[in-house]
Amino acid sequence: MNFLYDIGRVLLDFDFESSLSRLLPADCADPRERLERLLERKDDFEAGKIEADAYIEWALGVMGSGANADQFRAAWRSIFTPNEPMWECVRQLAAKGHRLILFSNTNSIHCPWIFENYHDFKLFENAVLSYEVGAIKPHAEIYKHALETHRLDPGSTLYIDDLPENIATGKEHGLHCWQYDLRDHASFEKWLGNFDL
């Protein structure tokens, strides 16, 4: 069986706000608004349309931050917490010989850094990463790329993601899909039990 795995809120939980808020000026009157503004160009960054250095310079300006680029990179990376129940599942699937492929909207600050710092990512055979492909989920282009590049049969491919719009596109491509909830891993395990693994 093939598995397409999202990263954020599936394999790794994340909290941008707590980490990046440390870079805001001490007298910042609108911290939440400034951090939300970073999302304005996040899709373009994750689609590889903006280079990391340009995004960092823009983001520091939006934040009104006196931090330097290295400090921003460190904060941008210090957002993750491994989702251990899912990693245990990944280890079991890998041990049984299933084909595991990462399928994620991400960026060149997080990758390859997360692969170097969370060693269980080596259990994944391949990765389809938005900033490398030049397209983001839920747009069809990245799904077509994943299926064609890795010669995946949708009928024998299970796709796990936390966002409903991404799951909807996965279903349109014939994938077996599960919308994952970090607070309810047991339901995912139950769903997995429906397949002959």
| Residue 72 confidence (pLDDT) | 97
pLDDT on residue 63: 95
* pLDDT, position 102: 98
Q: Domain 2-13+81-192, what fold?
A: Rossmann fold (3.40.50)
Using CA atoms, how far apart are residues 60 and 38, in angstroms rounded to an integer? 9
Q: Supply the pTM of this predicted model.
A: 0.96
The stretches in the chain having pLDDT less than 70 are: none
Quote the pLDDT of residue 118: 97
Q: Report the pLDDT value the prediction gives residue 39, as an integer from 0 to 100.
A: 86
Instruction: Summarize pLDDT for 97-124 with one digit per residue, the tens.
Output: 999 999 999 999 999 999 999 999 999 9
* CA nearest to 110, candidates 189, 7, 2, 191: 7
